[in-house]
């Protein structure tokens, strides 16, 4: 007959094991959740210590990197794309996407070659200079022509919005012109959820109007004053948006936080919120 002391000891081990199993499962879930970050969020730190800043992002738990600063000469943040990629890979992360300066089909060969060297799956145009914001049909035509050159390369070409693309030109919304007048097989879009909200638009209404057009999201939050805040602490309904990722066509998302005060702390708060969520 088993003694009471031995029974209690055995029971305590069983109880502890029962606690450890879900904890182990949770730890496994944390390791497997893959969250991206747009490194413009830590732009000042990258200028001072590129590799060290990338390590801090890896230590937070980010898996995917979206770079910025691919120039017309094919340099990525001032370095060879292969060098950039190696630093990221050596830290256990993947360079998945890059933002490039605005370019034309004539300028595309160096951008495409650099994108291949970097090993990215996406190449995104993130900005239009003010003097270019008068003829969005012309911009759409350029996007289509560039997208044609990317077709068959294994790299998706796309465009990232800010808020100015929602300022109506007559009765037209510029971003809707860009989406409507570009071919889905040539041009995708990276929906910046903060800038959509800042512009007074609704991300879900945009997704419902143009399903399948948004391969990427920028996940960043807005407070009630429409200033940026840590993801999960603001007014954007990420649960609904990310639960509709299939409708949007979303394949990956990147956290971005443009605030310069405590950027790594800000990014950790966003990561922890998304990593603990049931929808991200």
Give the residue extent of every domain in the chain. Answer: 1-30, 33-276
| Model confidence, pTM | 0.89
> pLDDT (tens digit, 9 = 90+) per residue, 223-257?
999 999 999 999 999 999 999 999 999 999 999 99
120, 91 in Cβ contact below 8 A? no
CA angle 215, 90, 47 (to 5 degrees): 75
Question: Which two structure tokens, joined as six digits, stand for 70?
Answer: 């691919």
Which of the two residues, 24 and 114, has the higher pLDDT score? 114
CATH number of 33-276: 3.20.20.150
Residue from 203, 138, 147 nearest 177 by CA? 138
Alpha carbons 84 and 80: distance in angstroms, whole number: 7
Confidence (pLDDT) at 29: 37
Confidence (pLDDT) at 3: 42
Whether the predicted pLDDT of 25 surpasses 80: no
Mean pLDDT over residues 106-119, rounded? 98
Question: Which two structure tokens, joined as six digits, stand for 238?
Answer: 């990420």
Confidence (pLDDT) at 32: 59
Residue from 167, 166, 155, 161 nearest 220 by CA? 161
Mean pLDDT over residues 104-117, rounded? 98
Summarize the chain as % helix, strand, coil (round to 5). 50, 20, 35
Residue from 202, 253, 225, 262 nearest 62 by CA? 253
In DSSP terms, which residues pair with 159 in a beta bridge? Answer: 125, 189
Q: Residue 168 CB: number of other CB atoms within 10 A?
A: 9
160, 124 in Cβ contact below 8 A? yes
Between the two ends of the chain, the Cα-to-Cα distance in Å is 51
Alpha carbons 51 and 235: distance in angstroms, whole number: 34
* DSSP 3-state of 218: strand
* DSSP 3-state of 41: helix
Would you mind telling me the total number of residues written for the chain in this entry? 280
> pLDDT (tens digit, 9 = 90+) per residue, 46-92?
999 999 999 999 999 999 999 999 999 999 999 999 999 999 999 99
């Amino acid at each position: 007959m088993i003694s009471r002391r031995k029974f209690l000891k055995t029971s305590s081990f069983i109880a502890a094991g029962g606690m450890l199993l879900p904890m182990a499962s949770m730890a496994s879930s944390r390791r497997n959740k893959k969250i991206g970050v747009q490194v413009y969020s830590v732009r000042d730190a990258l200028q001072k210590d590129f590799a060290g800043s990338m390590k801090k992002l890896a230590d937070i738990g980010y898996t995917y990197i979206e770079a910025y600063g691919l120039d017309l000469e094919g340099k990525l943040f001032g370095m060879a794309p292969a060098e950039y990629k190696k630093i990221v890979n050596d830290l256990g992360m993947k360079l998945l996407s890059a933002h490039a300066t605005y370019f034309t089909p004539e300028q595309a060969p160096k951008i495409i070659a650099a994108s291949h060297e970097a090993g990215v799956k996406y190449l995104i145009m993130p900005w239009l200079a003010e003097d270019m914001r008068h003829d969005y049909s012309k911009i759409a035509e350029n996007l289509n022509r560039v997208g044609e050159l990317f077709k068959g390369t294994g790299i998706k070409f796309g465009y990232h919005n800010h808020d100015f693309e929602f300022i109506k030109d007559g009765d037209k919304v510029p971003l809707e012109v860009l989406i409507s007048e570009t071919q889905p097989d040539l041009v995708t879009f990276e929906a910046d959820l903060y800038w959509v909200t800042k512009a007074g638009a609704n991300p879900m209404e945009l997704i419902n109007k143009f399903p399948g057009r948004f391969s990427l999201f920028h996940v960043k939050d807005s407070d009630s004053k429409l200033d940026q805040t840590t993801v999960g602490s603001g007014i954007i309904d990420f649960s609904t948006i990310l639960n509709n990722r299939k409708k949007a066509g979303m394949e990956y998302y990147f956290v971005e936080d443009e605030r310069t005060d405590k950027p790594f702390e800000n990014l950790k708060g966003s990561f922890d919120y998304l990593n603990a969520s049931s929808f991200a």
